[in-house]
Amino acid sequence: MPRVSVFMIRTALIHLALGAFVGGMLLADKGLHLWSWFWTLRAGHVHLMLLGWTVQFACGVAIWILPRLDAAGTRGALWLAWVCYGALNGGVLLATLSAPFAGMVGRERIAWMLPVAGVLFVAGIAAFIGHGWRRIRPFGAVPARMT
């Protein structure tokens, strides 16, 4: 398994744990009404679970499991996979922290965080597509088995 896949999958599991913790605290606060400030992390919970856990886990497994380019076992330009890793995690970090920071320093001072997070998400997925595009075999490229 390539090192970038190991990092992506482990980081995705960390996002899963953080997202489950935040989700559990939000659910507990629905009944207990103790931590009203915790609701600022609701949007961050969505980003942690959707992009930090699900998308990053899928990308990590796909980088590992997609067909290799040749008989030597090369996977192509892995630097694009590392760009995907960095961009996805940077976007999740910015998107998760934007709402709590808005309450602390004011929404106008952090207005740049969500657009930059969106650009990072798009750049990460574009880097993943750039890496995996050559590894996806078109239908019919693999010769049929003769029986």
Q: Chain centroid to CA 26: how far?
A: 22
Report how many domains make up the chain: 1
**pLDDT per residue as tens, the chain (147 positions):** 889 999 999 999 999 999 999 998 888 888 887 777 777 788 888 999 999 999 999 999 999 988 777 666 778 788 999 999 999 999 999 999 888 887 777 777 888 888 999 999 999 999 999 988 888 866 556 555 655
Q: What is the pLDDT of residue 35?
A: 73
- pLDDT in the model for residue 74: 76
State residue 15's pLDDT score: 95
CA 16 to chain centre: 11
Tell whether 126 is covered by a domain.
Answer: yes
What residue numbers bound the domain in which 46 lies? 3-135
d(CA 7, CA 13): 10
With respect to residue 92, please indicate whether it lies within any of the assigned structural domains: yes
pLDDT at position 71, please?
A: 66
pLDDT (0 to 100) of residue 147 = 58
Predicted TM-score (pTM) of the model is 0.81
Determine, yes or no, domain membership for 86.
yes
Q: What are phi and psi of 108, to 5 degrees?
A: -70, -25
Residues 6+ apart with CB under 8 A from 114: 94, 95, 98
How far are the Cα atoms of 50, 53, 97 from residue 43, in angstroms, in the given order?
11, 14, 9
Q: Is residue 143 part of a domain?
A: no
- Both tokens of 81, joined, read 């996979």
Joined together, the tokens standing for residue 122 give 């798009």
Q: Does 144 reside within a domain? A: no
- 22 within a domain of the structure (yes/no): yes
